[in-house]
Amino acid sequence: MNREKPIVLSGVQPTGQLHLGNYEGALRNWVSLQDDYRMYLCVVDWHSLTSDFNDVKGLQDRIFQTMLDFLCSGLDPEKVSIFVQSDVKEHAELHLLFSMITPTPWLERVPSYKEKADLLGLDSYGFLGYPLLQAADILLYKADYVPVGKDQLPHIELTREVARRFNNLYGDVFPEPDGLLSKFPLIPGTDGRKMSKSYNNDIKLADSPGETAKKLKKMITDPKKIYKGDPGRPEICPVFAMHEVYTITRNVNKISETCKSGDLGCVDCKTNLAENMNTSFNNLRNKRKELEKNRDYVLNVLERGAAEAREKAAATMSEVRKSMKLVRSYG
Ligand code: SF4
C-alpha cells in the first residue's frame, strides 16, 4: 500500500445489515476514495455499546453482516484496512489519555450529545465521552481527512481542538484533520422520512428482489393522488425521489410528466422503480451471497486489517507516550 497518500479515517457502527441510505451516503463514497487515499475503515463496536450496551448477544453477527455489505459494495481489502475497533486496544489508551486533557464542557456542548441524551435517555460516562473516543479513533491514525456529513462537522471540530491542546501541552504529535464533505442523494425511507433502521422504513442491500418490491409497494406517495387518473406531484413524492437515483434521466423526466398528467398510476410507477432498483443491485447482491458462504475470508480481511491498523496505532502511541513522559528511562 502507498503510505504517501493522504490518510482518511472513517468509522461505522456495526448495526447489522446496511440499508440503501448507508450505501448511497457512505459506502459508495468510500469506494470512490479508496484509490486516492490511504484509508482506515473502523467498525466501531465500542461506540455501539454507548447505546446498545444491553444488546450484545448479536454483536458479532452484526459485525459480520456489516462486513458483507462493505465487501459486496466494492471496498477492496488490498486498498483499505478494514478492522474492528476493539481489536486495536490503542484506541482505548488514547481515549483515556485524551480524557485527562479535555474539559467536560467541550463534550457537553457537542450538539448531538444533548439531543441524543434527551431522546434516548442516555446519561452514561461512555456516552458523554463518545466524541472523545471518536477523536482518538481519528488521531490514532493521524488522519488528514474524515468523510462526514454537515451534521458531523462539530465532532471534527472537537477532534481538532483536542489535537491542538495535546500539541500545545506535549509537543507536535497530531495533525488537525479536516472533514471531507461529499454530496450524496438523501434516500427516503418507505414512510417518507429519512431512511433509518430505527424507523423501520429501510430497504436493505441484502433484501431480495421480492422483498424490495414488497417494501416499495407500501411506500407512501403523494397523498392527493389516490386513483391513476389523478394528477400527482412528483416533487413531494418519495417514490419519485428514489426514481431520481435509480432510474435513467430520460425515463425520470417521463415519469414526472405522466405522474403530473395522471397517465401514470402509483402501482405501475412503483413496479417500474422496483425493476430498476433490482437491476442496479443485482451484481452486488449476488456477491453478498457468495461472501456469506465464505466466513473465513471475511474474518481474514478483519484480521489483516487489524494488523495493519495496529502497526500505525503502535507508532502513534509510541510518540504519544514519549511526549507525555510515560516511558521510563533512568539512564
Ligand atoms: S405516480 Fe409515481 S411519482 Fe407520481 S405520485 Fe405516484 S408514485 Fe409518486
305 within ligand 1 shell (Cβ under 6 A): no
State which ligand 1 atom lies nearest to the alpha carbon of 256. Answer: 3
Please indicate, yes or no, if residue 200 is contained in any of the structural domains: no
Residue whose CA is closest, atom 7 of ligand 1?
266
Residue having the nearest C-alpha atom to atom 4 of ligand 1: 259
**Rounded Cα distance, 92 and 137, in Å:** 9
The DSSP 8-state label assigned to residue 83 in this structure reads: E
CATH number of the domain residue 88 falls in = 3.40.50.620
Q: What percent of the chain has pLDDT over 90?
A: 79
Q: Is 264 in the pocket of ligand 1 (CB under 6 A)?
A: yes
Instruction: Specify whether 58 is located in the same domain as 83.
Output: yes
Residue 197 has pLDDT above 90, yes or no: no
Q: Which atom of ligand 1 is nearest to the CA of 270?
A: 7
In a domain, 120, yes or no: yes
pLDDT of residue 330: 76
- Å from CA of 193 to ligand 1 middle: 16
- Asked if residue 220 and residue 303 are part of one domain, the reply reads no
259 lines ligand 1 (CB under 6 A): yes
Q: Is 273 in the pocket of ligand 1 (CB under 6 A)?
A: no
- Same domain? For 22 and 80 the reply is yes
pLDDT at 20 over 90: yes
CB of 8 closer than 8 Å to CB of 137: no
314/248 same-domain check = no
How far is it, in rounded angstroms, from Cα 241 to Cα 331?
68
Nearest CA to ligand 1 atom 1: 266
The answer to whether residue 196 sits within a structural domain is no
Structural domain of 245: 207-288
Check whether 182 has a pLDDT greater than 80. Answer: no
Q: How far is the CA of 150 from the centre of ligand 1 (A)?
A: 30
Read off the pLDDT of residues 256-265 as tens digits, 9 standing for 90 and up: 999 999 999 9
What pLDDT band is residue 52 in, cutting at 50, 70 and 90?
confident
The ligand 1 atom nearest the CA atom of 266: 6
pLDDT at 86 over 50: yes
- 25 Rama sector, left if φ>0, alpha if ψ -120 to 50, beta otherwise: alpha
Count of the separate structural domains present in the chain: 2
Question: Has residue 55 been placed in a domain?
Answer: yes
**Residue 198 cell numbers, joined:** 430505527
pLDDT in tens, 278-291: 999 999 999 999 99
In terms of DSSP bridges, do strands 38-43 and 7-12 run parallel, antiparallel, or are they unpaired? parallel
Measured over the CA atoms of residue 23, residue 28, residue 33 and residue 34, the dihedral's sign is: positive
What pLDDT shows up at residue 2? 47
pLDDT at position 313 over 50: yes
Whether residues 102 and 158 share a domain: the answer is yes
Residues 304, 167, single domain; the answer is yes
pTM: 0.90
- Residues 211 and 147 occupy one common structural domain: no
User: Domain check: are 92 and 30 in the same one?
Assistant: yes
- Lowest average pLDDT, out of 168-172, 178-182, 232-236, goes to 178-182
243 occurs within a structural domain? yes
Looking at per-residue confidence, does 74 or 181 come out higher?
74
For ligand 1, mutation pick of 222, 228, 251, 260 (most atoms within 8 Å of CB):
222
The predicted pLDDT at position 127 comes to 86
Distance 183 CA to ligand 1 centre (A): 25
| Ligand 1 mutation pick, 215, 240, 258, max ligand atoms within 8 A of CB | 240
Taking the CA of residue 237 as reference, the ligand 1 atom at the shortest distance is 8
Residue 169 forms part of a structural domain: yes
Contact at 8 Å (CB) between 30 and 10?
yes
CATH of the domain at 255: 1.10.240.10
105 within domain boundaries? yes
Same domain? For 35 and 163 the reply is yes
Interval between CA 209 and ligand 1 midpoint (Å): 20
Q: If you measure from the C-alpha of residue 184 to the centroid of ligand 1, how many angstroms do you get, rounded to a whole number?
A: 22
| Residue 154 confidence (pLDDT) | 75
pLDDT digits (tens, 9 = 90+) for 224-254: 999 999 999 999 999 999 999 999 988 999 9
Q: Are residues 308 and 166 part of one domain?
A: yes
Residue 329's pLDDT band (cuts 50, 70, 90): confident
- The rounded Cα 123 to chain-centroid distance in angstroms is 24
| Beta sheet of 38-43, edge-to-edge order | 80-84, 38-43, 7-12, 145-148, 178-181
Question: Is 36 or 328 the better-scoring residue by pLDDT?
Answer: 36
> How far is it, in rounded angstroms, from Cα 120 to Cα 55?
15
Q: Is 191 domain-assigned?
A: no
Average pLDDT over residues 120-139: 88
pLDDT of residue 331: 63
| Same-domain status, 179 and 31 | yes
Residue 3 has pLDDT above 60, yes or no: no
Same domain, 222 and 178: no
* Cβ of residue 190 lying under 6 Å from some atom of ligand 1: no
